[in-house]
């Protein structure tokens, strides 16, 4: 990445007035592409996303987008930002095209012909051209998500911030949403914050795992899982038997699947387990002393 391309975060810290340290010194370099941000509840993901979206300020640290200092020149950076909020408000009776037109106007798209052309392109891009003249209130959850991207893409942002996007979407809609994000990520930084490890594993070229305000692991999904190669062992513990201390426990038919990290199989009942990003996630949290990991 050239020093002036993409997103660069240095020493970002934020403590809320109630004393909660939500960010404790975040350093990240994010090149154009799809970048995943994973973390448990309360890790600081939303604080980081809102700070990047210029909706709140940190106590210290530095953020640069394409070399521009976000904290010193927020207005200049805002023109390069797209933020996809979790919920799109209710606009009774307003069609998709009308709502996009209003937002484009607010973003300074005052030249009518250019604005129309940009909106038509955006609607095509998110696969909503045919639904453009229907009321937004009649859109399905998946259509609303894609419509949110179209809103966030007005003005061709260099950084698209996407917070918890796929909750409640069926698999087909989730796929459609992912394809649109991947398309945007060909040209811009797309930062995807989510609890859904599988989304990140399939989609993102790099991942950061955030816990208690710190980055506890960072790399490509292959790097993060590669560190665990030949170190994970699994066993289904029958109902009624107490599972061993594990990196991760999950319910499966017949009992509890326990995944352990160890140089060799703890005993002959364990099988080698091929590491997934979810395992790397739990190992990283456990290594950072975050209790949720072993729950
Ligand atoms: N405005 C606020 N005032 C005080 N504390 C806050 C505020 N916003 C967040 N926090 C606290 O800061 C910590 C980080 O919260 P944040 O919402 O950034 O985490 P998160 O990773 O987005 O969590 P979730 O996945 O649950 O949304 C939490 O302990 C939260 O309670």
Cβ of 41 less than 6 Å from ligand 1: yes
* Matching residue, tokens 């095509």: 124
Ligand 1 mutation pick, 12, 14, 16, max ligand atoms within 8 A of CB: 16
The H or E element containing residue 211 is strand 206-211
Burial 220-245 (b: 16+ CB within 10 A, else e): ebeebbeebeebbbbbebeeeeeeee
- Nearest residue to 33 via CA among 162, 176, 159, 193: 159
Expressed in angstroms and rounded, the spacing between residue 46 Cα and the centre of ligand 1 is 7
Distance (Å, rounded) from C-alpha 115 to C-alpha 68?
26
Cβ of 47 less than 6 Å from ligand 1: yes
33-38 and 206-211 strand pairing:
parallel
CATH class of the 7-221 domain in this structure: alpha beta
pLDDT for position 169: 77
- Assembly ipTM: 0.97
Under DSSP, is residue 91 helix (H, G, I), strand (E, B) or coil?
A: coil
Expressed in angstroms and rounded, the spacing between residue 53 Cα and the centre of ligand 1 is 16
Q: Contact at 8 Å (CB) between 142 and 120?
A: no
Q: For ligand 1, atom 31, which residue shows the shortest CA distance? A: 42
189-194 and 21-30 strand pairing:
unpaired
pLDDT for position 165: 67
Distance (Å, rounded) from C-alpha 236 to C-alpha 246?
12
Cβ of 55 less than 6 Å from ligand 1: no
Cβ of 213 less than 6 Å from ligand 1: no
pLDDT for position 293: 40
Expressed in angstroms and rounded, the spacing between residue 267 Cα and the centre of ligand 1 is 41
Residues in the chain: 295
Tens-of-pLDDT digits for all 295 residues of the chain? 555 689 999 999 999 999 999 999 999 999 999 999 999 989 999 999 999 999 899 999 999 999 999 999 998 898 889 988 767 776 778 999 999 999 898 888 889 999 999 999 999 988 899 999 999 999 988 888 889 889 989 988 999 999 876 667 788 888 888 888 898 899 899 999 988 898 899 899 999 999 999 999 999 999 999 999 999 999 999 998 988 888 889 999 989 999 999 999 999 999 999 999 999 999 999 888 886 543 3
Domain boundaries, the chain: 7-221, 224-288
Cβ of 45 less than 6 Å from ligand 1: yes
Q: Contact at 8 Å (CB) between 34 and 178?
A: no
């Amino acid at each position: 990445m050239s020093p002036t391309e993409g997103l660069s975060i240095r020493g970002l810290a934020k403590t809320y007035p109630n004393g909660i340290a939500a960010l404790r010194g975040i350093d990240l370099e994010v090149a154009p592409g799809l970048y995943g941000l994973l973390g448990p509840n309360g890790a600081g993901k939303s604080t980081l996303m809102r700070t990047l979206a210029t909706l709140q300020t940190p106590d210290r640290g530095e953020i640069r987008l394409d070399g521009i200092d976000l904290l010193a020149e927020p207005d200049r950076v805002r023109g390069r930002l797209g933020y996809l909020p979790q919920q799109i408000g209710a606009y009774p009776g307003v069609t998709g095209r009308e709502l996009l037109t209003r937002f484009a106007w607010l973003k300074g798209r005052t030249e009518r012909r250019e604005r129309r052309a940009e909106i038509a392109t955006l609607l095509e891009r998110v696969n909503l051209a045919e639904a453009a003249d229907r009321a937004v209130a009649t859109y399905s959850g998946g259509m609303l998500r894609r419509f949110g991207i179209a809103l966030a893409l007005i003005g061709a942002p260099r950084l698209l911030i996407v917070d918890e996007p796929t909750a409640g979407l069926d698999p087909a809609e989730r796929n459609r949403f992912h394809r649109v994000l991947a398309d945007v990520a060909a040209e811009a930084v797309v930062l995807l914050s989510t609890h859904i490890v599988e989304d990140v594993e399939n989609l993102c070229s790099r991942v950061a795992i955030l816990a208690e305000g710190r980055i506890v692991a960072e790399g490509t999904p292959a790097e993060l899982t590669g560190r665990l190669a030949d170190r994970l062992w699994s066993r289904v513990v029958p109902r009624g038997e107490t599972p061993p201390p594990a990196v991760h426990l999950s319910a499966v038919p017949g009992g509890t699947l326990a995944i352990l990290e160890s140089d060799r199989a703890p005993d002959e009942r364990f099988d080698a387990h091929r590491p997934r990003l979810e395992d790397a996630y739990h190992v990283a949290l456990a290594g950072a002393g975050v209790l949720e990991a072993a729950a």
